[in-house]
Amino acid sequence: MTSLTLDPIGVIHSEHTDPGQTPIQPSFAHGSPGRVEVFPRFEEALDDIDGFSHLHLIYWLHRAAEIAPSMAGSSTLKLVPFLDDVPRGVFATRAPVRPNPLGMSVVRLVGRRGSDLFVKDLDVLDGTPLLDIKPYVARFDVRLETRSGWMDEVSDETARRRGEHRPDEG
């Protein structure tokens, strides 16, 4: 298999328009509001979603080259992630520039009106194409005994400083 075709199911709207000022994960976007516009033909697929407190949003990182211009077009499989100063394998990071620029965020669902979902803790750039939504289910998603590899060595202060607003690339 050499290619796939994906069609967006909607668009993510947020207050984040500048890649350099966008938090790098939902945990650093606490309270940041947004609207998930699901295309009307998919509205029926949102039935019963109101009972969930959180959702997984899966999206296409359509502005990845702007987010990390020094990595854009790179064929390297190693890069220096935002939270570190050491090159790491791309699959051991959450960097936006990757073989397939897919993003995933867990956001709080605060309401629904028709085919619009209102969310908080959104770390996504405005206008991002939405590929899928899955409910966050504690029974399936929570893991109590985990390791976070090299990220376990990053101090909370460093993560907070670098995560809330990424340093300039270059």
Segment 64-110, tens digit of pLDDT: 666 554 554 555 688 787 777 888 888 887 778 778 888 999 999 99
- Split at pLDDT 50, 70, 90, the class of 167 is very low
Those residues with Cβ within 8 angstroms of residue 34's Cβ, 6 or more apart along the chain or in another chain: 12, 13, 14, 15, 107, 118, 119, 120, 122, 124
**Residue 142, in any domain of the structure:** no
pLDDT at 33 over 50: yes
Q: Please report whether residue 96 resides in a domain.
A: yes
Residue 169 lies in a domain: no
More confidently predicted of 94 and 17: 17
Write down the pLDDT at residue 169.
38
Q: Residue 37 sits in a domain of what CATH number? A: 2.40.30.70
What is the model's pLDDT at position 69? 47
Using a cut of 0.75, tell me whether the model's pTM lies above it.
yes
**SS3 (DSSP) at 61:** coil
Domain count, the chain: 1
Structural domain containing residue 72: 10-137+147-164
Q: Give φ, ψ of 10 to 5 degrees.
A: 175, -165
In a domain, 4, yes or no: no
Question: Residue 31's pLDDT band (boundaries 50, 70, 90)?
Answer: confident
Share of the chain above pLDDT 70, in %: 76
